[in-house]
Amino acid sequence: MAKIGIGTWAGKINLRMARGEVQFTISEDENGDYKIDVQLPGGLKTAKIKFMNLKEEADGKTISGEGTISVLPGRKLTGAFTFEEDTFVGEIKAPVVGKIKITDGHRV
């Protein structure tokens, strides 16, 4: 079965510390698990995000999981990305910041 969301994507975030386009690449690692690499804009440009426990939801359109970000050490993020052909919507919940919506998501 083909994995969903494989490829390079971009969307917009609007936070006080970072506004602009976020880009990420979804691929499969050597074990067949999802792998996501992210480039954040603005004040978060140098932040490192690590994703874990990524899974495809039963709807066959959504990848969800957990992660960490270097600017909030020891704190967990949760998120989900729902894909529809060449577009997507996303939401990440982060401690302190709350819900971060990714809008205008599209394949690059």
For residues 22 and 39, give the distance between their C-alpha atoms in angstroms, rounded to a whole number: 6
Per-residue pLDDT tens over the stretch 56-108: 999 999 999 999 999 999 999 999 999 999 999 999 998 888 899 999 999 99
- Digit-coded pLDDT (tens) for 38-65: 999 988 899 999 999 999 999 999 999 9
DSSP per residue over 9-70, as a string?
EEEEEE-SS-EEEEEEEEEE-TTS-EEEEEE--GGGTT--EEEEEEEE-TTSSEEEEEEEET
